[in-house]
Structure 1
Amino acid sequence: MSILDHLTGPQIPSLEGDGVLLRMPRRGDYAAWRALRGDSREFLKPWEPLWTADELSWEAYRLRIRRYNQDARENTSFSFFLFDAEGRTLYGGTTIGQIRRGVAQSGTLGYWMGERYAGSGLMPRAVDLMKLFAFDVQGLHRIEAACLPSNTRSIRLLEKCGFTREGHLRNYLKIAGRWEDHYLYSLLAEEWSRSRSRERLCGLPAE
């Protein structure tokens, strides 16, 4: 970590488990981020907001890092890059954002994966770490996620990770320049706690 990262960034712990590492983006990640996003441009664009002309520029990345750090300091959103266990290879990223406190205690899950790593089983591991962060560290009660009805890969991911489809949202988000319907998924803290309890019980030695 550079001195500038240390001085300007919030002190958010890295998340490690099952052969992957999640940590907040740093200025020094720019080259790897630009290369991965650039190589995955056509793969990612159908599922994301319209890319700007300077989407992959250093200035856009610098402003992105500034926003990530500000959001984390305000406890409204936390963005992580997804790496291998040693933190050397960048695979993608994930976010828990739109965090609401008070009576809601909820947040929205987002994620992206470089095309070359899609379908490799890495994102389910990242989502499991994000559930730990959201429920155990941030104390949220509910995680929401929205995906396009045509995004079968994302639907499989969410359902594999224990999310339940709750509804169909009309013209919910502007994706690739068009307002698109989305499926709404959610996971509750008590559902996650029950699954964690089952995992612990399954791990007990037989008597």
Structure 2
Amino acid sequence: MFALPFFRRDLPALKGDRVTLRVPFTNDYREWAAVRGESRAFLEPWEPRWTPDELDRTAWRLRISRYREDYAQGTAIAFFIFEKSSGKLAGGITLGNIRHGVSQSGHIGYWIGERFGGRGLMTDAVKVVAPFAFDTLRLHRIEAACIPDNIRSIRVLEKAGFRREGLLRSYLRINGIWQDHYLYARIADDPPAAGTKD
């Protein structure tokens, strides 16, 4: 559980140079479904297989409920990524599998809509989440797993100061196939990523 007094329901938005991150609200459904729907072919190779009701409002309500439950239990916090210049929902980033005690670690996962790719928004989002994880949540280590063919994601992590630590064989079932993943990590006392103040 998050045992720190600053973890409140009114968690402030996190701001980067190009993005603003905030927790998802129920009324984000329409914009979320539109971005995900138009980006389906772009996202599917890198995600667990989509369910037939993936973008339905009922599935959305369950997703929001899970976000709230994970947050209340202190195991994860999900953010939506908004492009600062337009105010539009561009993607999402989650700090999950949060463990305290001797581990003090978490794992990030993210997605971005196809039309927002290549603008540096995800790199900015990862750079914003890292100091939040280290300074606010007092984590020591954050990890990310990336399919070796996902060159864009590899670039994001490396630009955000993550280091490749190894290969996880047959690690996650992505789009119906068990896939190897590179393991990337950043620890609290690593030097700040270029262009960040953490």
Scaled by the length of structure 2, what TM-score is found?
0.91
Aligned to 2:45: 46
Q: Greater helix share, 1 or 2?
A: 1
Q: How does 1:20-169 map to 2 (within 5 A)?
A: 20-85=19-84, 88-169=87-168
Percent identity of paired positions between Structure 1 and Structure 2: 54
Structure 2: stretches of 5+ with no match in the other structure? 1-7
Amino acid across the alignment from 1:58: R
**Deviation at 1:199?**
6.4
The answer (yes or no) to whether the contact 1:10–1:72 under 8 Å persists in 2 is no
Change (3 A) 1:124 1:169: same
Please report the TM-score for the alignment, with normalisation by the length of structure 1.
0.87
8 Å Cα contact 2:143/2:183 also seen in 1: yes
Q: Distance in 1 between matches of 2:71 and 2:23?
A: 9
Q: 2:192 aligns with which of 190, 195, 203?
A: 195
Runs of 4+ in structure 1 off by over 6 angstroms are none
Helix, strand or coil for the counterpart of 2:192? helix
Note if contact 1:30-1:61 (Cα within 8 Å) is conserved in structure 2: yes
Residue 71 of structure 2 aligns with an amino acid whose one-letter code is A
For the pair shown, which has the larger CA radius of gyration, 1 or 2? 1
| Structure 1: runs of 5+ lacking an equivalent | 1-8, 201-207
Question: Contact between 1:21 and 1:86, CA under 8 Å: does it hold in 2?
Answer: no
Q: CA deviation at 1:163?
A: 0.6
The separation in 2 between residues aligned to 1:106 and 1:32, in whole angstroms, is 31
